Structure formats: structure tokens, C-alpha cells
Structure 1
């Protein structure tokens, strides 16, 4: 029965939260002006438990979200079928221009991109590193995923 297998591989809300906290790459889909998907992979951090990332203000995904906030995010891993895991989030991508909020996420993601130790959101980092990341963030906005629906799977459960 498809329904019963689906129930067996579904992650609990706590498992979803832990899975998202343990990962840092997300596939992000927004809708282009022709209605087709625009798909990119981004590094993310969790801001109050929600997927959040920075991107250039003039990027295609920001233009798409300003026109239509519909966004889907996918975090997945595994190679063999029996080890496939993932979380798909369906909802809205909020474009946030507040520099303080952008910095919370940007310092985490920027440290990861620079190959430096990755702080938790709100942890202090080296002031010189922070200054360099802040300069890079000046042309960016923060995107926060507001999910309406979450679908998850973990084939290791069966």
C-alpha cells in the first residue's frame, strides 16, 4: 500500500528540524515571468528554524519573488535508494531588506563560503572577517522561506 509506505518514511517534525539544521545546501525554485520554474542551489542557514539565504538584490530569484512570492525549497541527500532522505517546503519566499537580519544569515553563510569555521547565528566572529562579509552583503537581500506545507522522506526507516 502506497499510503502506508509513505507514512513509514515520513520524518517527524523534530526529525525535519534536525535534518534541516544538519544541512546547508538547498535547491530553490521560484516562478519566472513566463510561469516556468527558475531553479538554483544556495547555501542556507536556519533563522528561527526557517531556511534563509542571501542573494543579490538584482538576481532573477528576487525579481521572481517580488512578482510572485511562490517558492519551493528542497534539501536532499543519499545515493542509493535505501538511503534517500529529503525535505521539500512549499510556500512563500519573503524578501527582507533589513541589514541586521541579512547580517545574521550572511555572516554564517559567508563564513561557510570562505572556508572558515561556521558560527551559529548570533555568535561573534572575527571582526576583520565580519567586515569583509558585510561589504559583500551590501548588494544583497535576505530571503526567508515561509512554508505552508512540508513533505519529507527518509528511506533509511524501512
Structure 2
């Protein structure tokens, strides 16, 4: 892509933040034992502006991150070429065992997965819903994306 076109389609930091806040599915790539990418799609929430999701402690992505924290996240949308938008975050995935932030993210993601109204992080959630989500995430850890580099595009700007 030519430099001029690349600059025209780049999102501003505010546009990146709005785009990430408006979406909830992320493609997550970690490095497998053999060096090949391990790619999965996860539901996410933003924790202090960073992509965060819960996953099982023994999941392949957690095993990969414990061995090598390199992680890339891709959030994208659009169908036609002139609608394509996306943000790729390159950096490291932090595996967090602390139950408090895990619960905050779990409430948002769990509500979305259950088809319930999605709270903002830290908003109160119905106690029955809270209990169910807490049970579901008890064997999970939190993964937070710590980006070193962000690449974005919005073909609607062309």
C-alpha cells in the first residue's frame, strides 16, 4: 500500500478507542511450542482501555503466553472493500490470576455470551447473574493485551 493511501486510512487514537469500544470479538494469536501461530477468536471487554478476556488456566493460549508472552490481537469489521476497518495490536499478553479484575471482565463478557444486557466494567450486575458468572469463571484467568504497536485502517476514509 502506498504511503499516502496508508496515511489516509489510518485511524486516529480516538477512532481506535471508539472502534475497540464498539466491538466485542477479537482474533488472538499466540506463539505455539513449534513457533507456529495459535489463533482463536474470543469475546473481550476493555479494561482500562485495553483488550481483556478470560480463558481457562490450562488453555493452549495461556500455556503459550506463559512460555512466550508475544501476542497479537485483531479486531475487524466490514464486508465490502470500502467498509473494511480494523485494529491490529502487537505486544504481549499478560496472564493475570487476580480474581477482582477477572470478575469485572467476566461480568461483561459473560453477560454478552448469555444474551443479557451488557454492563459497563464495574457496574452492578443482578446477583443471580453474578453468581452464575462467578462459577463459570472460577477456573479461568484474565488475559490483558499490552500493546507495543497499533496498526489501524478504515477504508471508508478513501
TM-score, normalised relative to structure 2: 0.99
| Per-residue deviation, 1:63 | 0.1
Match of 2:35 in 1: 35
2:116 match? 116
| CA-to-aligned-CA distance 1:39-60 (integer Å, 9 cap, x gap) | 0000000000000000000000
Is 1:24 aligned with 2:12? Answer: no
Structure 1: segments with no counterpart, 5+ residues: none
Q: Equivalent residues in 2 for 1:1-158 (5 A)?
A: 2-158=2-158
Aligned equivalents of 1:45, 1:129: Cα separation in 2: 17
The offset of 1:35, in angstroms, is: 0.3
User: How many pairs align?
Assistant: 158
Residues 16-41 of structure 1: per-residue CA shift (max 9 Å, x gap):
00000000000000000000000000
Output the CA distance in 2 between the equivalents of 1:8 and 1:36.
Answer: 33
Q: 1:78-118: per-residue Cα shift (whole Å, max 9, x none)? A: 01111100000000000000000100100000000000000
Partners of 1:73 and 1:67 lie apart in 2 by 18
Deviation beyond 4 Å, 4+ runs, structure 1: none
Q: Distance in 2 between matches of 1:115 and 1:83?
A: 27
Aligned CA RMSD, in angstroms, stands at 0.7
